[in-house]
Structure 1
Amino acid sequence: MDWDKLRIFHAVADAGSLTHAGDVLHLSQSAVSRQIRSLEESLDTTLFHRHARGLILTEQGELLFDATQHMTKRLETAAARIRDSEEEVFGNLRVTTTIGFGSIWLAPRLHKLYAKYPDLTLDLMLEERVLDLPMREADVAIRLKEPSQADLVRKRLMDVRMQLFATPEYIAENGKPLTPNELPEHRLICQNVSATQVSAGAMLVRELMSYPIGRLLTVNNYFGVLQAVLSNLGVGVLPDYLQQDFPNLVRVMPEVESNEVPVFLAFPEELRGSRRVEAFRDFVLEEVIAYRRSRQERGT
C-alpha cells in the first residue's frame, strides 16, 4: 500500500475536506482528489461519502483511519526520540495531571525546570479525565492512583491525604472548629461527592456530610476550593501537599483526614530513554525529595 497515499488519506480524513487537507499538505485540491481516487481504486472500496458540508468517512474509511492514526502516533514517537540528542533537552513535552495537583503543586515549580532546560516546551494538560498514554494523548502523566494501562513505566512519587484547612483571618472571625459536630457553625468548602475526584477525597466528604452542615460551597476541583478558602469563605477539604506553598493556612480538626492517596508518574515504555521525559522525571523527583524534606522539618 502506497505510504504517500495513506498520508494524504489521513490528512483528508482528519480535516474533513479536500481543500483543507491540501492546504496542510501544500497540494492542490485536484492533486489530493486524484490520490484519494487512486487509493479507493487500489482497495476497491469507497472511503468517503461526499456531501455539501464536506467529507464523511465510510465504515471502510473509519477502519483505515484508525490504522493510519496508530501509524501516525508511532511515527511521531519515533521522530521525537530521533530529535532527542544525547546531550540536549528540547522540543515539546505533553504532561497531563489533575487540575488540583497541576495548578497547586506542579505549575509553581516549573520555573526551575525551565531555568535548567530553556529549550524545553511543556504542554500542561490539566483535567480529571485519564488520558491514554499508549495512544499518545500525552507523553507523561502524574496521577493520583496507580495507572492501570499496560506498557507504562511508572514511579510512585509520594502519598497525600485530604485534610481540613482555613485561614487565620477566617478563624479569628468565626472560631476554629475542633470536631465535625461544630460544622453547623461554619461553611464547608469541598468538591461535590459526585464530582470526579480521588475516591479517598469523596469518602471524606461523605463522612463530613453525615454531620449537620451549616453552609456549603462545592467546587469541581481543588484549585477552586483553595481559592475559596484563601478568600476566607470557610473551612476547605484540601490535599496536604499545599501546606509547603501555603504555610499560613491552618489545619483544623487534625484527627479528620482521608486515607492515603498514592501519586504516580507514568509514561509509555516506548519513551524510555527520551531525554525530554528523563529531564521532566528527574525534575519531579527532585521536587518530591525537597517536599518530603520540608514535611520532615515541619514534623508533619
Structure 2
Amino acid sequence: MGVGRTLDWDKIRVFYEVAEAGTFTSAAEKLRLSQSAVSRQVMALESELKVPLFHRHSRGLILTEHGDLLFRAAKDMHLRLDKTRQLLTETTQRPTGDLRVTATIGIGGIWLAQCISEFLDLYPEVRIQLILTSDELDLSMREADIAIRLRRPTQPDLIQRRLFSIHYHAYASHAYLERFGEPQSIADLDGHSIVSLGGDQPAFILDLHCLTALGRHAKDPRPSRLVVNDSLALRQAIELGAGIGMAPDCAMSRNPRVRQVLQDVEMPTLDTYLVYPEEIRSVARVQAFRDFLVTKAQEWAV
C-alpha cells in the first residue's frame, strides 16, 4: 500500500466506522452523514491509497487484505485517542499528575514548605516538585507551572492572585541587645553590627535590607559586619547574635530569641502573588493547588 502523503484523518475515521459497522448505511447513521457522503469518503481514500479496502457484495462489506491492515492501524489510533480523551477529562476533573512550584528560598522555607504536606494528604495523586530559587523562572517556557512571586508580574498572559503581605522590620537577638544595647533611633545604628542579605539577588530583594543605607547618604552607607547570600542563614545569624538585621515579621515575630527594634521606623512591605500561565488554568491540579494556597494565605494572614 503506497502512501505518497499524509493520510486524511477524516477519511480514516469514516473508513473505521464503515469497517466496524459492516455497511455504509449503519456507518452513515452513526456518523450522522448521508450514505452517499460516506461512500464517497471511502472511495476517495481508496483512490488516494491506490488499493481497494472493501470487497463489496449484496450482504455487506468485507475488508480486503489492505483494508484489514488499515483497519487495525485505525483501531489502534481510535483506542489511543479514547485513552487520551479520558486522561484529559481526568486532568480537568480530578487533581492528578506532576506540578512544579517555584518560590524564593525565604517564602518557600517560611510558609510554602509548611503547607505542602497537608496538600499532598488532600490530593494523593498529585506529585509536587518544589523549586526554591531567587531567579524568576519563565513560566511561559514551562520552567515551572506555578510561582509564588514577591512582586506583581508584568506579563499579560499570566494569571495572578494576591496572597498576602510580608512586613519587614529590624531584629536582634536578646543576647546581642544585652551586650550592646538597643538602638533608639536610626542614628544609633552607626554604633551597631549590621548583618545584611547580599549576593546574587534581585535588586528589589536587596533593597529590603536597608539598614546600611537608612538615614545615610547613598554614597556613604554604614558597613555591614556580615553579608549572607541566603535569607534563612541570615535569620539564623540574627538569632545567634551576629548583629541587627532585616527580616520578615512572619519568620521572627514568634521567635523567643529575638526582638524587634526601631519599632517606630517605617519599614518595607512586599505583596506575594500566586502566578501561573493562562493555558493551564483549567487543569484540575492547578485549580486545587490555587484554591488551597488562597485558603492557607487567608488563615496565615490572620
Select 1:102's aligned residue among 92, 104, 108.
108
Aligned position for 2:243: 234
> Which stretch of structure 1 is more off in the superposition, 156-165 or 238-247?
238-247
CA RMSD of aligned residues (A): 3.0
Aligned position for 2:233: 224
TM-score (norm 1): 0.63
Report SS of the residue matched to 1:204.
coil
Q: Residues 197, 231 of structure 1: CA spacing in aligned structure 2 closer, same or farther, 3 A cutoff? A: farther
Structure-2 separation of matches of 1:103 and 1:223: 8
Query: Is 1:137 the equivalent of 2:146?
Result: no
CA deviation vs aligned residue, 1:217-260 (integer Å, no higher than 9, x gap):
11123222112112221112112222466365311111234333
TM-score (norm 2): 0.63
Aligned position for 1:84: 91
Structure-2 separation of matches of 1:91 and 1:285: 21
Aligned position for 1:149: 155
Structure 1 segment 142-291 matched on structure 2, within 5 A: 142-192=148-198, 195-198=201-204, 201-202=207-208, 204-205=210-211, 207-208=213-214, 210=216, 213=222, 216-243=225-252, 246=255, 249-291=258-300
The amino acid of 1:237's aligned partner reads M
In the alignment, is the contact (CA less than 8 A) between 1:155 and 1:265 conserved in 2?
Answer: yes
In the alignment, is the contact (CA less than 8 A) between 1:90 and 1:119 conserved in 2?
Answer: yes
Shift of 1:94: 0.5
Q: Residues 247, 101 of structure 1: CA spacing in aligned structure 2 closer, same or farther, 3 A cutoff? A: farther
Aligned position for 2:127: 121
Report SS of the residue matched to 2:272.
strand
Shift of 1:201: 3.1
In the alignment, is the contact (CA less than 8 A) between 1:161 and 1:258 conserved in 2?
Answer: yes
> Which stretch of structure 1 is more off in the superposition, 281-290 or 265-274?
281-290
Report SS of the residue matched to 1:182.
helix
In the alignment, is the contact (CA less than 8 A) between 2:235 and 2:247 conserved in 1?
Answer: yes
Aligned position for 2:46: none
Aligned position for 2:48: none
CA deviation vs aligned residue, 1:126-173 (integer Å, no higher than 9, x gap):
111111112211100110111111211110112223211122233233
Whichever of the two has the greater Rg, that structure is 2
Report SS of the residue matched to 1:138.
coil
Q: Residues 138, 220 of structure 1: CA spacing in aligned structure 2 closer, same or farther, 3 A cutoff? A: same
Structure 2, unpaired ranges of 5+: 7-84
In the alignment, is the contact (CA less than 8 A) between 1:200 and 1:259 conserved in 2?
Answer: no
Report SS of the residue matched to 1:225.
helix
CA deviation vs aligned residue, 1:22-51 (integer Å, no higher than 9, x gap):
xxxxxxxxxxxxxxxxxxxxxxxxxxxxxx
Structure-1 separation of matches of 2:91 and 2:254: 33
Q: Residues 79, 229 of structure 1: CA spacing in aligned structure 2 closer, same or farther, 3 A cutoff? A: farther
In the alignment, is the contact (CA less than 8 A) between 2:208 and 2:268 conserved in 1?
Answer: no
The amino acid of 2:297's aligned partner reads V
Count of residues paired in the alignment: 217
Shift of 1:197: 4.5
The amino acid of 2:274's aligned partner reads L
